[in-house]
A and B are shown apart, each in its own frame.
Chain A
Amino acid sequence: MVEKRQITEKMMQIFFFCIASASITILFLIMIFLFKEGLPILNTVSVKEFLFGEYWYPTSEPADFGIFSLIVASLAVTFLSALISVPLGVMTAIYLAEIASHKVGEIVKPLVELLAALPSVVIGFFGMVLVAPFLQEVFDVPTGLNLFNAALMLAFMAVPTICSISEDAIHSVPVALKEASLALGATHLETIIKVIIPASISGICTGIILGMSRAVGETMVVLMIAGGAAMVPESVFDPVRPMPASIASEMGEAPIGSDHYYALFATGIVLFILTLIFNIIADYITNKYRQVGEASL
């Protein structure tokens, strides 16, 4: 009998090992494919020309494969959306975890998380049809399909991620910490700013960076409302062309095995590295500032 149990145990181990390694292998193979399809562009242009070249004219003769304006566009959109979504997301989280009554929290938190379920194409359509004419009217700019609009819509998409992860972090701050602070005579506001936030900062940062990494890779929204001009923006109301938009709109028509095709995959590599950096930073912060006990505060 004992032997049979051991065999079952062993089988289960192997089974789970296979499942785990299958998913990792598949992801790894996708990565290899990405590099295999992207690197040949370096036969045509140098790394420096590709990353810092100002012009993106993949189909003209002779073609220019410089994605500098696309990288700047991606970073600008992400940064601007962070400026909007971080205060919104974090403050909502603080409200939900600390200030709101239990009943309100029960209702509002699922609602915020429901926002995350909004398909990006819906948000894109909303931005295109409603927000763009509104921005054009209010700010008196030539086009409403621009950097600011895209950043605004991406912020909407990042808020649920930031809010939900931050709320969990704030919620898990030990009650003893809070009670100690209050017992020492600190007001509720002082407690939140000086005790609760420092204690949950790693969770909040993780939330922010995951939200940003969602924004940087988001495709549909920027494809629909960023405007699509491959130039380095001079103001927040200029149209831009972030990397995912470029890949999505051109990949369908780029002949397989052409320089254009390789250049788009290489753009994918840059995007991959960018999100990877975001995730590594998030991981690092989570581990480094993890609040282990109450003594380390």
Chain B
Amino acid sequence: MKKKKVFAVLASALAFIFITGSVWAGQLAIKGSTTVLPIAQKTVEAFMKENPDIKISLSGGGSSNGIKALIDGTTDVANASRFIKDKEVKMAVDKGVYPVPFACAYDSIIPVTHPDNSLTNITTAQLKDIYTGKIRNFKEIGGPDLKIVAISRDTSSGTYETWEKKIMKKERVMPRASVMASNGAIVQAVSANKNAIGYIGIGYLNTSVKALTVDGVEGTEETTLNGQFPISRPLFMFTNGWPKGDTLKYIKFVLSPKKGQNNVSESGYVRLY
């Protein structure tokens, strides 16, 4: 008898977990780029505070996976750090899905050095040569006579993805480059090392490191938005057709200058307005 009772209790406990689990699972699914993920995280948190009845499930997985999920109908919003490709549009239309893009922020990546480094400007070609290992001393590009320690981000981060696309142009970052796991770690490493050069999202800039101008352009919100600064790109959220219901509510929240756009700045990106 006792055994049966224990079994019943266990079974009901398990059933409870499963049932409530499925109720908690989001009614709104967001998936995609790791670059957009910090924005999505902040906006989702703020959005759910405002709308406690709407539950959202958020996951990363990369731009391609996000758009694929949108086409398969397994997500409501696909985050992407690039525009949709022709091939994907075709695939979507074939399945009766019409992806609508919403630019939600700009990502701007600033190369940084130690504050004592006399170097002030660098070109995109020089940056590429540094990260492929062709340039190994700052004096080769008009800086002090110091060996260069190139610091990169781990390859799955969104910041690295932007850097790869805008600077490396299909070439690989050399194995010798140090790899840090976060923007903060790069700031810490660069501020403590006169030989170091690194790159960080614009929101992580502070006085402990020195921002370099790229091709003569200073990386600011203004030069990012008018397209002058070379290492920047818009970030997108795609929906299936014009968004409706909760999806529309969320997209509106993200684009709202007083709500979602503040979260954009908080996550270290450039706001649209």
Contact = CB atoms under 8 A, between A and B. Distances in A.
Given A59-B155, A253-B157, A255-B65, A145 B179 contact: no
Interface residues of A, number: 35
B172 A254 contact: no
B176 interface: yes
Contact of A133 (B62, B177, B193): B193
Nearest to B146: A142
B196 interface: yes
B34 A145 contact: no
Interface residues of B, number: 30
A128 interface: yes
A132 B177 CA distance: 17
A133 B192 contact: yes
A163 B20 CA distance: 50
A244 to B, nearest CB: 12
A80 B154 CA distance: 25
Nearest to A132: B192
B192 A142 contact: no
A142 B147 contact: yes
A130 to B, nearest CB: 10
B178 interface: yes
Contact of B156 (A144, A227, A253, A256): A253
A210 interface: no
Q: Which of B60, B156, B160, B188 has the most chain A CB atoms inside 10 A of its CB?
A: B156
Contacts of A145: 178, 189, 193
Q: Which of A59, A223, A224 has the most chain B CB atoms inside 10 A of its CB?
A: A59
Interface string A116-134: 0000000000001100110
A143 B172 contact: no
A157 B224 CA distance: 46
A143 B155 contact: no
B172 A228 contact: no
Contact of A228 (B61, B146, B160, B178): B178
A162 B189 CA distance: 32
A247 to B, nearest CB: 11
A249 B179 contact: yes
Interface of A: 55-60, 69, 128-129, 132-133, 136, 142-145, 223-224, 227-231, 238-239, 241, 248-250, 252-256, 260
Interface of B: 34, 60-62, 65, 146-149, 154-157, 160, 164, 172, 175-181, 185, 188-189, 192-193, 195-196
Closest 9 CB pairs of A and B: A228-B179, A253-B156, A231-B175, A249-B181, A59-B155, A255-B61, A142-B195, A142-B147, A143-B149
